[in-house]
Amino acid sequence: MTVPAFGLGTFRLKEDVVIASVKNALEMGYRAIDTAQIYGNEAEIGQAIKESGVARNDLFITTKIWTENLSKEKLIPSLKESLEKLRIDYVDLTLIHWPSPGDAVPVEEYMQALLEAKQQGLTREIGISNFTIDLMTRAINAVGVENIATNQIELSPYLQNRKVTEWARAHGIHITSYMTLAYGKALKDDVIIRIAEKHNATPAQVILAWALAMGYAVIPSSTKRENLASNLNATTLMLDAEDMASIDVLDCNDRLVSPEGLAPAWD
């Protein structure tokens, strides 16, 4: 099983807003949905999925274990609680949301607990999020690279994270990009706008197509039906070498997500 290239993100979407977003997305043909324990919207997503009528086998659902649940005593019970909220018997992918702050719970402990969850059938695949090269190395040593489906990291035209992505590629770890539009900042970039006009596309489509061309999975979110539809069309937009080169030079290590007390020492 591979991680779908295109999915729906649900960060910061709550209650009726997330229900509407998920229902609209599923109606339009989205089949991958990304959530997390800390988002506080697993139950609403479960409701939206149930009411959508889309068969469970056609969906790819991802959730993430919060840092408070990383110990071997808490990880599997917390995942079972997520499954109850989502109203499903298994998730397709479970990620470690952030590495344990200060290494309070060792990488080896929670990765092995996550592998046990996979062996119990609670999740089909397991992976990591916000992991540096050092943390990826420890995760590989703990469970084997064949058991790490992806590393979900912040990636945008302004934070291309090449050191991490090149290391991951060389060691067989797939990358999922989050915050790909840089909180909307990249949508206003003159370079992106010029490429969009060239292709009769939107700036969001250009950025998502760039990430897809780099081999990353993307999980953009939107509360607007027209944006959900438009984003999905990024999968058919083909950028040329000149476009890719123009976006490459936008990299300025502009990291937007680095919560104090939670973020590791970035590469």
**What is the distance between the alpha carbons of residues 6 and 20, in angstroms, rounded to a whole number?**
19
119 Cβ neighbours under 8 A, 6+ residues apart: none
Q: Which residues does the annotation mark as catalytic?
A: 39
**What is the distance between the alpha carbons of residues 230 and 24, in angstroms, rounded to a whole number?**
13
Three-class SS of 251-264:
CCCCCCCCCCCCCC
- Listed residue (156, 151, 98, 161) closest to 125, CA to CA: 151
133 Cβ neighbours under 8 A, 6+ residues apart: 163, 164, 167, 267
Burial of 29 (0-12, 13-18, 19+ CB in 10 A): exposed
Beta partners for 117? none
Burial of 249 (0-12, 13-18, 19+ CB in 10 A): exposed
Task: Find tokens 């990249």 and name the residue.
Answer: 186
C-alpha torsion angle, residues 206, 209, 211, 214 (rounded to 10): -130
**What is the distance between the alpha carbons of residues 213 and 194, in angstroms, rounded to a whole number?**
18
